[in-house]
Structure 1
Amino acid sequence: MSDTLGWTSYVDTKAQVEHDRLTLLQEVFDPVTARLLERVGVQPGWQCLEVGAGAGSVARMLAERAGPANVTATDMSTDFLEPLASTGIRVMYHDVTVDEPPGEFDLIHSRFVMEHVTGRDATLRRMASWLKPGGLMVVECGTPVPELSSHPSVRASLTALGEMMSASVGTDPEWARRLPLPLEQAGLVDCVAEAHVVPARGGSPMARWLTATHRLIEEPAVARGVVTAEDLSAAYAAYADPDFVDYTWLTVAALGHRAG
């Protein structure tokens, strides 16, 4: 049974609004990921797996470095990935928690995926077994930190986002704060981690992405009483105000090798 709960049923992964949200995500976080891949030193010919490829930007980065024929991009919804296939990238519908291994890899990367997988520790062990000896796993995960917000409505809305994603999808919004320990427990070696914060200044791509992500849970969160419509409205207004700046979204990147 899959441990990837309900994301594709909870979010309309074929809708233009979701494509727009993922495009904002890429605009915000691709520079961080690109620097990470540069430091890793992806080489031509490396076999690379992108787990939960979303709208495909990281798979394209990997293809530029390793060659398109050496990149496999998987997701539980591949509609936004189909254009990659024409470039030579292998696109697969794949549930990382239960499906057969898609190959053996020099590099496995995921971004904002593992925190949404309920069996994430067991899944990391599965993924680690797909690495070639000496292969590298790179996991980027997000964790909201609402208690750091200077705005009470933003604080309430971020808290509600975590609660709703946990209840409906199985997300653990604090799992990223344990990294790199889960990679070590998956049997990987030389594991390290670092954190990065992109400021959410009103009107910025980061603030617009947070607004779009809040909107995913808006109706059920208000219906369940975990946040008020007034708090959400005030949070959206803050995210649109250039005089507002917040540091409440932490991205943690962890790296580990399979013993050679």
Structure 2
Amino acid sequence: MTSAPPARTLEVRHLQIARAALAALAAIMVTFSPDHSAVIGMSVFSGFAITTAFVLFGAVWLVYPSGRRWPAALLGTVALIAGLAGGIGTLRTVTGFFATVIAWALISGAIELIAGWRDLRNAGRTRVRREIAPGVVDPRPFVEPGPGGESRDGVVVGVITLILGGALLFVPTQYALQYTVDEAHQTFTLTGITIGVGLFGGYAAIIAVYLAIAGFSPRKPAADTDEVAASATGEPPTVDASAPADQKDSA
């Protein structure tokens, strides 16, 4: 039987919990800040994106095995670039906020959605070595698809992130509406940037709750690879010819 892959230092649940904590911190900062200007919004987003990028880069080596690292690496790269752009003073404007967050949301959401969808589609398909020609076994190394729960979480987070990008596209950047609160005897102005920063804060809160639930939810033990392969394809489990045969007790 093929040997099981070595256990990773951390699990996906740890990555989800870390991402949830960073998103919760961003949501709290937006919610309790009386100033929803472009400067504050970009500052919060920049810190959120850069710290998330570092967490994703760490997950590349500590969580995911070889062959399944590309989504975390791409997400971390996009987040780092967006976070660094948010730290540039000349981009901390209304236009800069919308352009940066929209680009990050659309690209990151697409990456996470595609990665999760690919894992869901490939689950249970390529779990045995297949012949690419008569007598010729596919030489490419086998990459075990991610757990179904993780893949579904990736799809959901990707869709929510895409919704954020789409929602920000419909917010007029120059929008301004004055309204008066009679009880406070004050007049306030609702602007496009206020709506944009609020949408980002709401997104961060939703992602924080969802990833926290996903991270703390109990996980089912993974089924044996060969057994899943046999049940999914109807083929007998494969035997690694390079593995030494079991030594029999000579007694």
The TM-score range, normalised by the shorter chain, is under 0.3
Q: Which has the higher strand share?
A: 1
TM-score (norm 1): 0.24
- Select the structure of larger CA radius of gyration: 2
- Per chain length, whose mean CA-contact separation is higher, i.e. which structure has more relative contact order (CA < 8 Å, sep 6+)? 2
Q: Which has the higher helix share?
A: 2
